[in-house]
Structure 1
Amino acid sequence: MAPRMDAAELSRMLGDWARPGTRLPDALAAALLELIDAGFAPAGSVLPSQRDCAAALGVSRGTVAVAFADLEARGYLASAVGSGTRIRSGRALAATDGRLFSFTGTAPGVIDLSTGALPASGVVRDLLGAGPVGLSGIGDYLDTDGYFPAGLPVLRQAVADRLTRDGIPTVPQQVLVTNGAQQATFLAMRSLVSPGDTVAVEDPTYRGGLGALRLLGAQVQGIPVGRDGLDTALLGRAVARHPAMLYCQTGVHNPTGTTMTDAVRREIGTVTAREDVPVVEDCCSYDLTCDGRVASTLAGHVDDELLVMVGTLSKLFWGGLRIGWVRADRTRIRQILELRKAEDLATPVMSQLVATRLLEHAGEARRERREMLSSRLRSTGEVVHEVFPDWTWRPVHGGTGLWVDTGQDALALAEEAKRVQVRLVAGPSFSPHDGQRTMLRLPLWHEPEVLREAMGRISGG
């Protein structure tokens, strides 16, 4: 059966497709052709219906019809009554659904509310601004080949010490250093998942995790997330079918900003142990809490042989550092290490030395992030309520964003926002089934006046 593209998926991949001075049908046809030529929309794929496309893209059905007809006349599309419109020619270059397409440079004049990634912390600015921090130790490594696929021993020790202080007993041999958490997540999943395997995930969940599973060819089953965390009854049913793994976030959840209860964590441990199902736990935001206490994780609830944890220094310090980590038992780390060597040989020594030095200031960085995010949580709530009083969200325990229920089609809202140079990310990007249609994730770190300007543009005020 030909793959069928959802309207939310198409909207994500098209990005900012409308161009000033260009007729909408022409701009839409050009954007679709770019996807086809790049291999992101391979031959045989079935496009959403014209009605669904129009609703998702915030245009008339006639606009979509003209764009489709243009590409059909040029031989790129084929339409058949009852079968829809499929892509007739093109190559299959990459298995992607566009969930991370918004992670690109932002054009001048555009207010980017599509990511919760934080700017560099004051700790990073102070240390890096003073000169080549951490590089005084570079001489110790210049007589080596510079390749440390598992990470510099000094950094593995520093990460292990940090995790141990946070209540997750860890030795350096259980840590593998990666080029950011996205690589850590991909490698952890790749060690457990083969094409066609079923994977259980939260709904909603981190869109980068969903993107990695798509690339791995996994079949994804979503489990709803409530106020206390995963629906454990549905989790039990899903795990009884023996999925290849469970991917979840029990500390600070992205995108909702909530934290699971210990009762849910215990149940996850019980259920996965009973069926011998591995768990990949995303811990990227576990130390970005509103109360200053590091959030609990599955450590101690899930046996080390089944638990793979991934994390990052990007949230605490700066995304530009590109340092992530995997924490697992020694056997699993060895397996992931060999997979990693086929992808890239190692993380740069200089970045790791900087990261080691920054970890000495983890406590200071946590306090700074907590104060900034707590302040912006209040100001963001005030601005959003001022402009959109009907929008609602659950209490936030931590993280970098608000998971907002707009009460309307957030996908169409995001498309409308593009026209006024505001970049948003709607709920379907965080859903394994392109659900969460009324939801919107808003980052917390923007200055109130910037957010007010963005909200004003969206509202038309």
Structure 2
Amino acid sequence: MPKMDAAELSRMLGDWARPGRLLPDALAAGLLELIDAGFAPAGSVLPAQRDCAKALGVSRSTVASAFAELEARGYLASTVGSGTRVRSGRAAVATNGRLFSFTHSAPGVIDLSTGALPASEVARRELATGVSGLDDYLETDGYFPAGLPVLRQAIADRLTRDGIPTVPQQILITSGAQQATYLAMRTLVSPGDLAIVEDPTYRGGLEALRTLGARVQGVPLRSEGIDVDLLGHALVRRPAVLYCQTGIHNPTGTTMPRGTRAEVGELVNGAGTAVIEDCCSYDLTRGPGVARTLAGHVGDDLLVMIGSLSKLFWGGLRVGWARAGASRIRQILELRKAQDLATSVMSQLLATQLLRHAVEARRERRQMLASRLGSTQEVVREIFPGWRWEPIRGGTGLWIDTGGDVLALAEPAKRAKVRLAPGPSFSPQDGQRTMLRLPLWHDPQMLAEALGRI
């Protein structure tokens, strides 16, 4: 029977404590919602009461009362020595709640749980002008499963200018990078297959692997990138895929040195292991140019690169892309037809317009993030002087070591109407228990208010 970790339960419960409602009643209601939705399916084992109480920031008696209420109603069953299991409920929904924070916040809530940026000034300006070139497509059926040729060409040209020679046939346009990641993984991973990831890594990648039923092994991320020696040992197990970020890493903001990148390439080429490289943040370096990737170190027959326009322009466009060899692109293409047929023509035309201003958008984002990095660090040092972090090379957040149990911070923060992104969300084994990912872009006054509430 699957056993739920306390960090996983905390994520999926979300803002479970309701004003004016007793905590045991509110917790029981939150658990019942998870059971009814299939997120805690029949047969799954809940964390021990002591672990739940610690993770949720409540007394053990609160947890015991909530469990007892649901047991009396027939939803839970407790056995001495075996813990508490879900007795009845819907069929399982394959998720562990890592993306549950991507929902609209209630009024008064300050959301520090995501590093996603608001629209750039470049995007606001171009979006205000409207879509050009739409008339040429109105006589077609509007379905372009691989993407508009003009956008595929624009992305191929951009990658080529960035030092990654690319032709349009190597590009597939998707409805955001998360879809590209999921589809690429689905071409490579079957239920029960082993997938290797960095620990920590992007939580959306972990959620996709969980949905596909993969067994996930984390390899520690060091200051010089993934631990190459441990990666070599992991590849001996013949995993189906390595999912990694060697450019600007989410959530740590680090960059893998060229030498380490070459070692990783040599290892995966030798093992014949397919690689999905998340390159969504490679524009957001602190210096000139873009971050390097595994392109050139890993053959196109093994490497799938994932990119997005969300970081430079706006996530609301929902335009992402995958770059791979022609045969892999064909596989992904056929899978995406069954999912949503094609990405919006209007979004793709807007994306094509925006890419003409990519250099300007990079400059704007870097200036904004550099400024907010300074102000964010000042606020954090003032309010939590004991927190520590390593210098970052880019990206939209700080990876902070709080020195304590971050779940014990996140749960009271929910009740203070502040959403946080605890480290376990970014770990395949719900590790990183002292770490917190804090976004950079918030106004200093708002950030100070949020941390002050905590």
TM tier relative to shorter chain: over 0.9
- The whole-number CA distance in structure 1 between the counterparts of 2:74 and 2:335 is 41
Matched ranges for 1:367-446 at <5 A: 367-446=363-442
The residue number in structure 2 matching 1:111 is: 110
Asked whether the equivalents of residues 287 and 366 of structure 1 are also in contact (C-alpha less than 8 Å), the reply is yes
- The whole-number CA distance in structure 2 between the counterparts of 1:234 and 1:309 is 23
- The whole-number CA distance in structure 2 between the counterparts of 1:92 and 1:51 is 27
Asked whether the equivalents of residues 42 and 92 of structure 2 are also in contact (C-alpha less than 8 Å), the reply is no
The residue number in structure 2 matching 1:205 is: 201
| TM superposition shift of 1:192 | 0.3
The residue number in structure 1 matching 2:302 is: 306
2:104 counterpart SS class = coil
Matched ranges for 1:47-86 at <5 A: 47-86=46-85
Asked whether the equivalents of residues 292 and 370 of structure 1 are also in contact (C-alpha less than 8 Å), the reply is no
Asked whether the equivalents of residues 39 and 95 of structure 2 are also in contact (C-alpha less than 8 Å), the reply is yes
2:388 counterpart SS class = coil
1:403 counterpart SS class = strand
The residue number in structure 2 matching 1:166 is: 162
TM-score, structure 2 normalization? 0.99
| TM superposition shift of 1:263 | 1.1
Q: Which runs of 4+ in 1 moved over 6 A?
A: none
Q: Aligned match of 2:344 in 338, 348, 351? A: 348
1:89 corresponds to 2:88: yes
| TM superposition shift of 1:292 | 2.6
- The whole-number CA distance in structure 2 between the counterparts of 1:177 and 1:95 is 26
The residue number in structure 1 matching 2:258 is: 262
| TM superposition shift of 1:92 | 2.0
The residue number in structure 2 matching 1:449 is: 445
| TM superposition shift of 1:93 | 4.3
- The whole-number CA distance in structure 2 between the counterparts of 1:260 and 1:307 is 17
2:407 counterpart SS class = helix
- The whole-number CA distance in structure 1 between the counterparts of 2:184 and 2:46 is 32
Identical amino acids, percent of aligned pairs: 75
- The whole-number CA distance in structure 2 between the counterparts of 1:383 and 1:136 is 43
| TM superposition shift of 1:32 | 0.2
The residue number in structure 1 matching 2:135 is: 139
Which AA in structure 1 matches 2:161? Answer: R
2:210 counterpart SS class = helix
1:201 counterpart SS class = strand
Q: Aligned match of 1:364 in 338, 354, 360? A: 360
The residue number in structure 2 matching 1:332 is: 328
Which AA in structure 1 matches 2:184? Answer: A
1:136 counterpart SS class = coil
2:133 counterpart SS class = helix
1:309 counterpart SS class = strand
Q: List alignment gaps of at least 5 residues for structure 2.
A: none
Asked whether the equivalents of residues 132 and 349 of structure 2 are also in contact (C-alpha less than 8 Å), the reply is no
Asked whether the equivalents of residues 198 and 243 of structure 1 are also in contact (C-alpha less than 8 Å), the reply is yes
Which AA in structure 1 matches 2:88? Answer: S
- The whole-number CA distance in structure 1 between the counterparts of 2:331 and 2:453 is 50
Asked whether the equivalents of residues 116 and 401 of structure 1 are also in contact (C-alpha less than 8 Å), the reply is yes
| TM superposition shift of 1:108 | 1.1
Q: List alignment gaps of at least 5 residues for structure 1.
A: none
| TM superposition shift of 1:410 | 0.4
- The whole-number CA distance in structure 2 between the counterparts of 1:450 and 1:336 is 42
Asked whether the equivalents of residues 148 and 348 of structure 2 are also in contact (C-alpha less than 8 Å), the reply is yes
TM-score, structure 1 normalization? 0.98
Cα RMSD, aligned residues only: 0.6
| TM superposition shift of 1:138 | 1.0
1:82 counterpart SS class = coil
| TM superposition shift of 1:129 | 2.0
The residue number in structure 1 matching 2:274 is: 278
| TM superposition shift of 1:436 | 0.1
